Amino acid sequence: MSWLDRRDPFEDHARPLSIPRHPAEKYLAGKVIVLDPGHGGKADVPGYKRGPTGVREAEVNLRVAHLLRRLLEDAGAHVALTRESEVSDAADDRLPDTHRRRAEIANSYPRPDGGTGADLFISLHHNAASKPEANYPSVWFHGEADWSEPALDAALPVGHRLGAELRCSGVGRTGILMSDQQMYASGFAVLRHARVPAFLVEASFFSNPDEEQRLRDAAYNLREAYAIYLGLVEWAYGGRPTQSIPAVTLADGTLTITAKLDDGLPGWWGADRQRTLDSTIAVYVDGRRVFATFDPATKVVTADAPWRSDASPDRSLELRVHHANLYKHHNWPQRYAVRLAADGTATVTPMAGRHAGEDRAGS
Ligand SMILES: [Zn+2]
C-alpha cells in the first residue's frame, strides 16, 4: 500500500524506452495498412509547418512512419508508405491534388489476398496551435461518427495509447476522437478521398517548445510509433466483423434482405457463445431503418421492407448493414449498391463509406 503514497508524475519523458513485441501482434498478420507521412515538398518555404526552433513536421512524420512500418511488418502486416523520402509522385504538398493521390494509394492497393484496398489508411501528423502550452494527442475521422465506425474502432486505441506512451501534459484536456468537419465543412481532403477506413493522427504539438525538442529525437519518435503499434495490435485483437454479400429479392411488394454475419473473431474458447451484440444489428434501405431479426444459431440476419417504387423509380437502392461484436468492433463493408432486375432478383455491389458532399448512392 505504501507504493500508492508516492505516485510518479504522469509527464515522465525520462523513463527508459521499452518496445517489447506484444504477443497479440499476430492478429495483425495479413492486414494491409497504408501509412501517409503528412506533408513533404515545401522545405524551402519559410516557416511552413515548423516548430519554434525550426523542426519540420514533414520530417518528424516521415521518421515515425518508417519506424511504425518496421513494427507492423515485424508483426506480419503488409505496409505501404505514401512517401519514402521528402516527396513521392503522390505525397508532395506542392501538388494541388496531393491528398486525393495519397488516399488513392490506399484505395487501389493490390491486396495479397487478391482484393483491392487497404484495411486501414492512416495519415501521420503532428499538431500546431497558437498557444505554446497546447500538447495532447487527437485522432481525426471523416464526417459523422456514423460514417466512420470501422475507422473509430482503430482510432480509439491508437489515441489512448499515444496519451499513455507519450505522456504529454495536455492528455485529457479534451476528447481524443475528432471529426474532420470540426475543422472544415467538407472535412480533411485526405480522409474525404479515402474509400477504406481511414483516420488522421495528430500525435502531439510541434508548436510546443518542449515537445518540439523531443520530436527531434528518434527514440521519442519510436515511442510514438510504438504507441500506434500497440493501438493497432489491440484493434486487430478485437477482430474485424463482416458479412456475406446480402441477398436481396423483391416479391409481392416486399424486399427481403438476408446476410450471414461474421463476428470477425477466431475460434477461441467461447466461440460458440454470442459474440455479435444484438442491439447493434441494423439494416437500412435508402437511409430508412427497416425491421430486422437475427438468428444466433445460423448467424443470419433477415430484414423485410415494403418496396417503394416511388422512392426508387430506377430500381436502384442503397442498402446498409451494421453490426458489432462484443469488442464493439464494427463491420466492413457497410454499404451496398443494389440494382433490381425485372424478375425481382438483384445485383448487390459493396460501396465505400459515406463522404461529405455525396448523394444518396454516389461514391
Ligand atoms: Zn500536418
pTM assigned to the model? 0.96
Burial degree of 210 (CB within 10 A; 0-12, 13-18, 19+): middle
Q: Are residues 214 and 275 in the same domain?
A: no
| CATH number of the domain enclosing 273 | 2.60.40.10
CA–centroid distance, residue 39 to ligand 1 (Å): 6
Beta bridge partners of 282: 322
Last residue of a domain, one of 213, 237, 261: 237
CA–centroid distance, residue 363 to ligand 1 (Å): 26
CA–centroid distance, residue 361 to ligand 1 (Å): 31
Which residues of the chain carry a pLDDT beneath 50?
361-363
| CATH number of the domain enclosing 186 | 3.40.630.40
The β-bridge relationship of strands 247-251 and 288-295 is unpaired
- Spatial separation of the C-alpha atoms in residues 330 and 152, rounded to whole Å: 9
User: Which residue type does 154 have?
Assistant: A
CA–centroid distance, residue 48 to ligand 1 (Å): 10
Looking at residue 363, what is its pLDDT?
39
Sign of CA dihedral 279, 284, 289, 290: negative
CA–centroid distance, residue 348 to ligand 1 (Å): 38
For residue 190, give its domain range. 2-237
Looking at residue 103, what is its pLDDT?
98
Q: Are residues 248 and 233 in the same domain?
A: no
**CA geometry: angle 133, 138, 142, nearest 5 deg:** 140
CA–centroid distance, residue 37 to ligand 1 (Å): 9
Q: Whose grid coordinates read 495490435?
A: 233
CA–centroid distance, residue 38 to ligand 1 (Å): 5
Which residue intervals of the chain are DSSP H helices?
57-74, 98-107, 149-166, 189-192, 209-215, 218-237
CA–centroid distance, residue 330 to ligand 1 (Å): 28
Question: Which of 120-140 are b and which e, b meaning 16 or more Cβ less than 10 Å from the residue's Cβ?
Answer: bbbbbbbbbeeeeebbbbbbb
CA–centroid distance, residue 180 to ligand 1 (Å): 13
Q: Are residues 44 and 180 in the same domain?
A: yes
CA–centroid distance, residue 217 to ligand 1 (Å): 18
Looking at residue 359, what is its pLDDT?
61
CA–centroid distance, residue 124 to ligand 1 (Å): 8
Last residue of a domain, one of 216, 237, 258: 237
Does a structural domain hold residue 24?
A: yes
CA–centroid distance, residue 40 to ligand 1 (Å): 10
CA–centroid distance, residue 311 to ligand 1 (Å): 43
CA–centroid distance, residue 353 to ligand 1 (Å): 24
Q: Are residues 8 and 115 in the same domain?
A: yes
Q: Ligand 1 is a single-atom ion; what residues have CB below 5 A from it?
A: 38, 125
Looking at residue 15, what is its pLDDT?
94
At 234-264, the pLDDT tens digits run 999 999 999 999 999 999 999 999 999 999 9
CA–centroid distance, residue 201 to ligand 1 (Å): 9
